[in-house]
Amino acid sequence: MGEQVRIGKSELVVFMGGMNAMPMMYALELKQLGFDVLYFVDAAPQDILSRPENHYPDISYPYPPWVIERRLFSQLLLPLFPRFSACYYRWYIRRLTGRKKCVFVLNGFFASLAPFLSWASRKIALSHGSDLDVWGNTKGIDGLVTGFRKRSFFRFLPAPLAGRLIKMIVARQYEGYRQSDSVLYFPKGFNNAGDSVMQSLIDEGVQYVSRHDISDEPLKCCTRTFKEPCSVLEIFSGVRFLFETFPNGNSGYNKGNDLIIKGLALYYSRNKNIRIHFVRKGEDVDAARALCKKLGIDAAVVWHDEMKLSDMLALYEASDICFDQVGAHWIGAVGGYALWLGKPLIANDASLVNSGVWPSENPICSANTAQAICDWLVKLENTDLRREVSEESKRFVEAHMMPGSVLNKLFDAGA
């Protein structure tokens, strides 16, 4: 496939879909470069993680004119009614802006609208992960049907009907990626199912743009100074609890939370003067709480409800050591924020190193077993080592996880 023409500033760039408000980091970058941007928010206020005002200090509610709130009961309705949905947004955007052509950046199930956006000048699918490697994976339909038909509104439907609808959604989601001009997805080697889907799309002529980045916009008000030791060692893990239940049928999303708990329990037998902060999010929270009790660390654990990113960043800042996943998944924003703030990060970096995205020499406290976690906690008792890892982490994240290089492949900042 030949070089694709990059998008200039004469185009209106429309963002649709906002899982974890991740697409907003690209929208803000483009606005800073002088692009005309329209960003749709479809999540309800109680979906804290997907509302941009909970992540980005420059976005307030009520929203500025370029951020449009149009709530959906469920994004799953989009691939069930893609033609109607596309027609609605065409009418609305034309009424709002007068534009007949624009570039679409589609996240989540909005990707399924791509075949029906014939009036778009370009269609870019921006994947957050499972919207492609689970819901766009036609080879994994049976596992998805088994795991998901008792969730969302499917649980109210007869099992055969739920199964047929899920299969329809997967087929339409894949077709949406196939009819996109470009797909932004994680580097090869992160997820076997995702690699398979991406290879099929590449074979169909779709441009693949690799992404593994975070935005530093939400972090602008944070301090990056080293936290001097206090009487209690503060440990924070913002990792979603997903280690034994995989309703989407992809065990590659295993976060290894059970290993984190077991490693902390090993360390707790050595040092009781610790405080562990967990967030109640994910399918396996109850299993995690039971494991903490079984291993005798529940007295040291503080459980937090899901929160705005600003509140979560306060937990980061108060911590001495942080965790990202130690299972089969990869280091994402949870770990990226820790690195940016200079917090020693215990995580499994194997997928990043093995895929060549990160060098093997990096500041991650690499672990994928309970014993390795405990060993790192013992090493990090040394304040000088923590300080050294902190400084290396800040330099590393700036070199390897900023979003500018991804946009440069698609947009012409000099146009």
The answer to whether 241 and 201 are in contact (CB under 8 A) is no
State the DSSP string of 163-179: HHHHHHHHHHHHHHHHT
| pLDDT at 354 exceeding the cut of 70 | yes
| pLDDT at 70 exceeding the cut of 80 | yes
Q: 158 with 241, same domain?
A: no
186 DSSP assignment: P
CA distance 171 to 177: 10
* pLDDT tens, residue by residue, 152-181: 888 889 999 999 999 999 999 999 999 999
CA distance 30 to 209: 17
Q: 160 with 76, same domain?
A: yes
Residue 392 lies in a domain: yes
The confidence score (pLDDT) of residue 216 equals 83
Structural domain range at position 322: 217-400
What is the pLDDT averaged over residues 383-394? 97
Q: Nearest CA to 222 among 394, 96, 82?
A: 394
* Boundary residue ending a domain (171, 188, 211): 211
* pLDDT tens, residue by residue, 396-406: 999 898 866 68
The confidence score (pLDDT) of residue 181 equals 96
Model confidence at 284, pLDDT cuts 50, 70, 90, reads: very high
The answer to whether 235 and 275 are in contact (CB under 8 A) is yes
CA distance 204 to 376: 45
Question: Where does 168-239 show beta strands of DSSP type E?
Answer: 182-185, 207-210, 233-237
Identity of the amino acid at 26: Y
Query: Look-up: residue for tokens 């390897």?
Result: 400
The confidence score (pLDDT) of residue 1 equals 39
Token pair, residue 161, equals: 């009907």
The answer to whether 364 and 303 are in contact (CB under 8 A) is no
* Boundary residue ending a domain (178, 211, 244): 211
Quote the number of domains for the chain. Answer: 2
Mean of the per-residue pLDDT values for the chain?
93
Q: 293 with 237, same domain?
A: yes
Residue 103 bridge partners (DSSP): 13, 122
Q: What is the pTM of this model?
A: 0.82
Q: At what angle do helices 370-379 and 257-268 cross, to 10 degrees?
A: 50
CA distance 152 to 415: 44
- Beta pairing class for 182-185 and 321-323: unpaired
What is the pLDDT averaged over residues 80-103? 95
Residue 194 lies in a domain: yes
Question: Where does 307-369 show beta strands of DSSP type E?
Answer: 321-323, 345-347, 365-366
